[in-house]
Structure 1
Amino acid sequence: MPAIDTDAPLLFFDSGIGGLSVLQAVRKSLPTAPIVYAADYAGLPYGTKSEAEIMARVPALLGRLVERYRPRLVTIACNTACTIALSHVRAALDVPVVGTVPAIKPAAESTRTGVIGLLGTAATIRQAYVDRLQTAHAPGMTLLRHAAPELVHAAESKLRGEAPDPSIFSRAMQGLTLLPDGDRLDVTALGCTHFPLVQDELSAACPRMRFVDGSAGIARRIRYLTAGQEWPAESSEGVFVTTGSLADVEGLQTALHSYGLTQIKSL
């Protein structure tokens, strides 16, 4: 194996700012890791796109990003992209790729009632990949699914300093709790990386619910795959790159800076 450049970054990819929830967990275990965070704002939202659109778009974009930034590892911090295109991205790239999938396993491990929920995008919750996760990790359990696209926009608004309408979070939770067996639901997997950014608001809308997501597991996986590699002695300015207009992310600068992303560029 060739030596890894100490300054080679970790590349995070999402349709928007949802992957910041994953980046936050990784920062705790690898505080000096150079970071490039790519947001496909030109393609947001992914949840309303077809499988064919995502299959064509994501590998091509990541190919361009890998060529430009030469990362040591790529993390697709987007459940929708992973449930549809993860295997194709891995086949196309010559660097390790870590995926993000709905946290069915930790939800199943922590439920007391055997009824677990999944909040995600419409594209994510309909995937056969989710069926396979349920079969593998929650056999015999009831999995309730609800598409909550409003939460994506609510998370984006929150990080722009705006106050989302509280009814958005009530509707999202009622989409699960009003389903058959919803009264027994005790754990909900947040199946979109945007959703942990508004977990406090979801908890306020449904105080009895426990929420799980995959960010801690992803951080452990990245740590494992980069074991033995050298990192800079000090943290550097992180790069945020968007496929959209720089004007579209002006309102996010304060939030991005709080995550260490101080260089804002366009692809």
Structure 2
Amino acid sequence: MSAPILVFDSGVGGLSVLAPIRALLPGLPVVYAADNAGFPYGTRSEAEIAARVPALLGRLVERFRPRLVVIACNTASTIALSHVRAALDLPVVGTVPAIKPAAAASRTRVIGVLGTAATVRQPYVDRLSAEFAADCLVLRHGSARLVELAEAKLAGTVVTAADVAPELAGLTDQPGGDRLDRVVLACTHFPLLAAELAAAGPRALGFVDGGAGIARRVAHLLGASAPTPIGASAPTPIGAFAPGRAVFTRADAHVDALAPALKGFGLATVETL
């Protein structure tokens, strides 16, 4: 079997990135690694993340020998991406808040960045806003609660629009929020709640994330010939996926509860690092 790619996050959020990669390259072997022992990253300090992520990825690369690493976590990418690239001698793809496409699509010129507190305060977001959304009002809101809700949803808990509404209101209730028309989901957990967020909006909002772009970048770096996607409404059959495994940094009841959802992403094997 060919070498896998390694998709990394603090929890299950990276599955929102794995899904478009699987859709584009279903035959690609995958190791999905979740640092649930360090979860959640969004409430940790920059120093903690900058030290923890490169060290952990070094261990994972040594064990699984991937040909490419995807850091499917906005917080880890905005803080530790340069450290990881300096430490690893293989391609590393980061996750960038999708401010550029959100600004390009906005008609009202008011966009929101919904991420973790650690992500929305990063100078990297300032730079992206200045470069790609200089003529927009860019609102920001950090939410740890949405991360928790996404994890709960994948573990089988029912999550409703009412559950996510207060977090979306953190953007829409700000000055100028009544004109908001595009929301950047700047945490990979948040696309897992896309339906609930859409239902919670005070009006129709466009939600933008970077998953599809990351999938295209992975295909380009691997020199892969991607098949024509089956279709947005018809996911790739699970049996069409190459073997995949999920690796967690801690075994607990939450990981056990995630097993059915993981199988839906072609991750039939679950183990602990």
2:255 — aligned with what? 249
CA distance 1:229–1:11, shift in 2 (3 Å): farther
1:22 — aligned with what? 17
What RMSD over aligned residues (CA atoms) do the two structures have, in Å?
1.4
How far the C-alpha of 1:229 sits from its partner, in A, is 8.5
Which of 176, 180, 186 is equivalent to 2:181?
A: 186
Asked if 1:227 corresponds to 2:223, the answer is yes
CA distance in 2 between counterparts of 1:200 and 1:235 reads 25
How far the C-alpha of 1:208 sits from its partner, in A, is 1.2
CA distance 1:213–1:252, shift in 2 (3 Å): same
Structure 1 unaligned spans of 5+: 1-5
How far the C-alpha of 1:164 sits from its partner, in A, is 2.3
Which of 200, 203, 206 is equivalent to 1:205?
A: 200
CA distance in 2 between counterparts of 1:149 and 1:119 reads 10
CA distance in 1 between counterparts of 2:68 and 2:31 reads 11
2:270 — aligned with what? 264
CA distance in 1 between counterparts of 2:223 and 2:15 reads 22
CA distance in 1 between counterparts of 2:247 and 2:158 reads 25
For normalisation by structure 1, the TM-score amounts to: 0.94
Which of 142, 151, 165 is equivalent to 1:170?
A: 165
CA distance in 2 between counterparts of 1:168 and 1:101 reads 26
Contact 1:83 1:101 in 2 (8 A): yes
Structure 1 counterpart of 2:244, one-letter code: G
CA distance in 1 between counterparts of 2:225 and 2:161 reads 44
Asked if 1:127 corresponds to 2:91, the answer is no
Which of 31, 34, 55 is equivalent to 1:36?
A: 31
2:212 — aligned with what? 216
How far the C-alpha of 1:136 sits from its partner, in A, is 1.2
Identity of aligned residues (%): 59
How far the C-alpha of 1:252 sits from its partner, in A, is 0.4
Structure 2 unaligned spans of 5+: 227-239
SS of equivalent to 2:62: helix
Contact 2:155 2:254 in 1 (8 A): no
CA distance in 2 between counterparts of 1:47 and 1:165 reads 22
How far the C-alpha of 1:228 sits from its partner, in A, is 5.2
How far the C-alpha of 1:246 sits from its partner, in A, is 4.6
Count the aligned residue pairs.
259
CA distance in 1 between counterparts of 2:185 and 2:162 reads 18
Give the alignment of 1:114-153 within 5 angstroms.
114-153=109-148
CA distance 1:134–1:202, shift in 2 (3 Å): same
How far the C-alpha of 1:239 sits from its partner, in A, is 0.7
How far the C-alpha of 1:237 sits from its partner, in A, is 2.3
After the TM superposition, list the runs of 4 or more consecutive aligned residues in structure 1 that deviate by more than 3 angstroms.
none
CA distance in 2 between counterparts of 1:89 and 1:229 reads 27
Structure 1 counterpart of 2:99, one-letter code: I
2:75 — aligned with what? 80
Residues 93-119 of structure 1: per-residue CA shift (max 9 Å, x gap): 001000001110110010001100010
CA distance in 2 between counterparts of 1:168 and 1:176 reads 15
Mean Cα deviation higher: 6-15 or 59-68: 6-15
Mean Cα deviation higher: 161-170 or 59-68: 161-170
Structure 1 counterpart of 2:18, one-letter code: L
How far the C-alpha of 1:190 sits from its partner, in A, is 0.2
Structure 2 counterpart of 1:182, one-letter code: G
SS of equivalent to 2:6: strand
CA distance 1:45–1:30, shift in 2 (3 Å): same
